[in-house]
Every structure is written in C-alpha cells, then in structure tokens.
Amino acid sequence: MDNSDSEIKAVKIKLLFFGSLAESMGQREIEVVLTKGTVISQLLDRFQLSDIVNNGVKVAINGEIIQNHDEIIADSSEVAFLPPFSGG
C-alpha cells in the first residue's frame, strides 16, 4: 500500500527582515518549514506579523511586493518584510 498521497507535504522558505525589523526580530533571515499550500495570511498569523503588516510593512515574495495575502507560498520562496522607507 502506497501512503505517499496521504503524507503531509512541506515547503521550505526563507523569511527576510530589513531595517528596524531585523533589529527587533534579532536576525535578518530565518528558514522555516511550512505545510504545502500555506498562504501569506497564515504565515503572518503563525509568526505574529499581522500587526506590523497592518501598520505599513510591505510583504514581498521573491522580490515582488504583493497585496494579496491569500497567495500560496511556493517551495524555496523568499518572503521579505520591508518597513516603510523614510528620508528624502
């Protein structure tokens, strides 16, 4: 009997933090394993990042800023959290 269809599949991704976020998280990069099919909103909930995103932090997947937090995170993705930029 083949159990491969019933096994939970996982994806491995990197979380990247920039600027003051890297300081507050204590690190710039974290590798995490997620269940295949995890969406951005679930990632935000799991790591308690929803508040910072609601306060202006942008989320980018593989260098592309996203607005849709229902997007599925693919294996080997880099998910970056970009604080608002200031200056002139």
Contact present, 14 and 78 (Cβ < 8 Å): yes
Domain parsing of the chain, residue ranges: 10-82
pLDDT tops 90 at residue 5: no
* Closest to 52 (Cα-Cα) out of 8, 75, 22, 72: 22
- Residue 4 binned pLDDT confidence (cut-offs 50, 70, 90): low
Please tell me the pTM assigned to this model.
0.85
What average pLDDT does the chain have? 90
* Predicted confidence (pLDDT) per residue in 27-54, tens digit: 999 999 999 999 999 999 999 999 999 9
Q: What is the pLDDT of residue 6?
A: 55
The fold adopted by the segment(s) 10-82 is: Ubiquitin-like (UB roll) (3.10.20)
Q: What is the pLDDT of residue 64?
A: 97
DSSP 67: -
Token duo for residue 48? 């308690």
